């Protein structure tokens, strides 16, 4: 069952990465579904907005694809040097994806609620990345791993956004898209962050159990 969930998790990541690559890199991003929906509420989008959107899409998808390897205990233990290299690339993705996402949030559909939701997502995404980087710099490995889990849960909002979006359109129709998008701006990442805290607590409990019941075995939580 665990392998099945892991397969679905990675399948969704690859599907969204391919979608973004086709829509914004291979094809003309101005005709992407997201942009067309945006134009339903804005008469015109500036050239600078399109440039920032491209930067955000390209760098965020890099972080989305690399992320699972940066938080995988198995990969880290067997490929520590590659883990560090991928971690740096991941941070560069956020370095560009975070500020560009914050800029785009000011133009988000859904009024103040939508702008605030996506704005906070970008801010927390950057702050959690900084905390993860700061912890590993100070050799606080366990805290670094916890912050990386939190951070990737926010990166994964790129996936959950695209799960909620068609569901809301199907349930409530395009005529209520602005209201739906305001709700999605929070649903895309708040449940992810809650789940990340659950995973962190489970890992801490497993680590505590192993130390108390198997003191001869030293393992790092995933």
Question: Domain limits of the chain?
Answer: 2-213
The residue count for the chain? 222
Q: Report the chain's mean pLDDT, rounded to a whole number.
A: 88
| Residue whose C-alpha is closest to residue 67's, from 120, 121, 24, 13 | 13
Q: What is the largest distance, in Å, between two alpha-carbon atoms of the chain?
A: 66
Predicted local confidence at residue 126, as pLDDT: 98
Confidence check: pLDDT of 43 > 50: yes
Confidence check: pLDDT of 87 > 50: yes
Q: Give Cα 220 to chain centroid, integer Å.
A: 23
Q: How confident is the model at residue 24 (pLDDT cuts 50, 70, 90)?
A: confident
Which residues are CB-contacts of 37 (< 8 A; sequence separation ≥ 6)? 109, 177
Higher per-residue pLDDT: 23 or 213: 23
Predicted local confidence at residue 29, as pLDDT: 66
Span 46-58, mean pLDDT? Answer: 90
Q: Which residues of 162-173 are buried (b: 16+ CB within 10 A; e: fewer)?
A: bebbeebbeeee
Confidence check: pLDDT of 192 > 60: yes
Confidence check: pLDDT of 40 > 90: no
Return d(Cα 150, Cα 159) in angstroms, integer: 15
Span 81-96, mean pLDDT? Answer: 95
Predicted local confidence at residue 50, as pLDDT: 87
Span 101-130, mean pLDDT? Answer: 96
Span 11-28, mean pLDDT? Answer: 86
pLDDT tens sequence across 57-72: 999 999 999 999 998 8
Predicted local confidence at residue 221, as pLDDT: 42
Report yes or no on whether pTM surpasses 0.85.
Answer: yes
Span 203-212, mean pLDDT? Answer: 70
């Amino acid at each position: 069952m665990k392998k099945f969930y892991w397969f679905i998790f990675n399948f969704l990541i690859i599907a969204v990465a391919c979608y973004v690559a086709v829509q914004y890199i291979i094809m003309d991003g101005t005709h992407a579904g997201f942009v067309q929906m945006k134009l339903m509420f804005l008469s015109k989008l500036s050239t600078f907005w399109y440039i920032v959107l491209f930067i955000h899409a390209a760098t965020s998808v890099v972080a989305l694809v690399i992320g699972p390897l940066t938080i995988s205990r198995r990969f880290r233990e067997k490929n520590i040097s590659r883990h560090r290299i991928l971690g740096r690339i991941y941070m560069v993705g956020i370095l560009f994806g975070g500020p560009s996402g914050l800029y785009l949030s000011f133009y988000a559909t859904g009024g103040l609620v939508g702008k605030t939701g996506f704005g906070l997502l970008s801010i927390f995404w950057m702050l959690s990345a900084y905390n993860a980087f700061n912890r590993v710099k100070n050799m606080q490995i366990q805290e670094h791993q916890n912050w990386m889990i939190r951070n990737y849960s926010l990166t994964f909002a790129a996936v959950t956004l695209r799960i909620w979006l068609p569901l809301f359109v199907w349930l409530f129709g395009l005529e209520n898209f602005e209201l739906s998008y305001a709700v999605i701006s929070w649903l895309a990442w708040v449940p992810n962050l809650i789940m990340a805290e659950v995973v962190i607590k489970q890992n801490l409990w497993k680590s505590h159990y192993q130390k108390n019941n198997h003191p001869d075995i030293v393992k790092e939580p995933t």
